[in-house]
Amino acid sequence: MKRVLVTAAALLAVGVSSASAADLATKIYKKAPPIVAFDPWDIAFGSAVMSNYVFRGVTQSNGQKGSVAAYFEPRYNITKDVQLYAGVSAESISFANRAAAEIDGYFGIRPTWGAAAFDFGFWYYGYPGGQCIDTVQNGGVLCPVGSSALANGNVAKKDASFYEGYAKVNYTFNDYFSLGGNAYYSPNFLNLGADGTYASVTGKVLAPSTWFGSTGIGSYVSGEFGRQWLGTSDSFYSLTPGVGPGIKYADYNTWNIGIGFTYKVFTLDLRYSDTNLSKGDCNAFTSDFTASGNTDRTAINPGGAGSSWCGATGIVKLSADLTAMTNLK
């Protein structure tokens, strides 16, 4: 899938569970708060169902098709302020190359220094089951003979898997307000041949617990503003696929803001997400198999087919997040 990173301008927001929709672009999972007496080992795990899986402002699930997700993350606390972790996660997707699942592996270290929580790690995004999409039916130009083609002329590699390194920080000012910053880099984003850098700022405000009395319900408002920088593709995605130099993808801004409600291990998050990518540049980036028309022409999308995969969307997400030491004792 051809796709998805101004230093981010601060966005005032009010609240989100780290495994909920405010982290759609950054994929951050919960870190248990440090305690003086601690067990060195712990396991975090959870699942979610969402109306739209959006990653850095771009749908991974063909708009409103919906997605389910799950993760499993063993953790080892070296001290009360330093945690090692590794995990796997999976999401259902709908990519241009017909891949239907995302299988991720990741690992890192989370040091905490006072009110500042850091996270440094490595993430691998795997997309098994993809097909090579050629310029002509039955292939033989870019893909093996027998490959399929799209009516809108888009092409896609069989494998969109890639990896990136990341660094994050979140500063908690008080019981109600926190701000964060994130940076990611990949030398070959989505296997397009183009490097990718993403940076963002996040904000979260928790509502006072007295708002809902003794019901156990909590709430928040949260948001993110980020920018994705993208390099130049390889020749597979050139203006004449397979011939000549690649195309320089458009850099873009993305943002989301939403409100959430928590109860025990559950979070319901309602969010709005958008980008400033044009429909034409979105099509060039995503190879959207639903792109249509001929009026959205840009320098990298001369055919004019337009994609709505990078546009404004609302997201409803219900998730559950647990840790063995807290929830399963």
* DSSP one-letter string for 81-134: TEEEEEEEEEEE---TT---EEEEEEEEEEEEETTEEEEEEEEEEE-TT---EE
Contacts with 283 (C-beta within 8 Å, 6 or more apart), sequence order: 152, 154, 291, 296, 301, 305, 306, 307
Q: Which residues of the chain have pLDDT under 50?
A: 1-26, 28-29
Determine the Cα–Cα distance for residues 253 and 244; give it in Å rounded to an integer.
29
> Looking up tokens 């083609």, which residue turns up?
149
Strands 67-79 vs 82-92: parallel, antiparallel or unpaired: antiparallel
pLDDT for the residue 38: 67
Residue 37 is predicted with a pLDDT of 62
How far is Cα 7 from Cα 123, in angstroms, rounded to an integer? 22
| Cβ 33 vs Cβ 115: under 8 Å | no
The phi and psi torsions of 209 (rounded to 5 degrees) equal: -65, -20
- For the chain, give every domain's residue range: 21-327
| pLDDT digits 0-9 by tens, 110-139 | 999 999 999 999 999 999 999 999 999 999
Q: Can you identify the CATH homologous superfamily of domain 21-327?
A: Inverse autotransporter, beta-domain (2.40.160.160)
The continuous run of DSSP H or E covering 146 comes out as none
pLDDT of residue 33: 54
pLDDT at 36 (0 to 100)? 53
Tokens 């617990």 label which residue? 209
* pTM of the complete model: 0.88
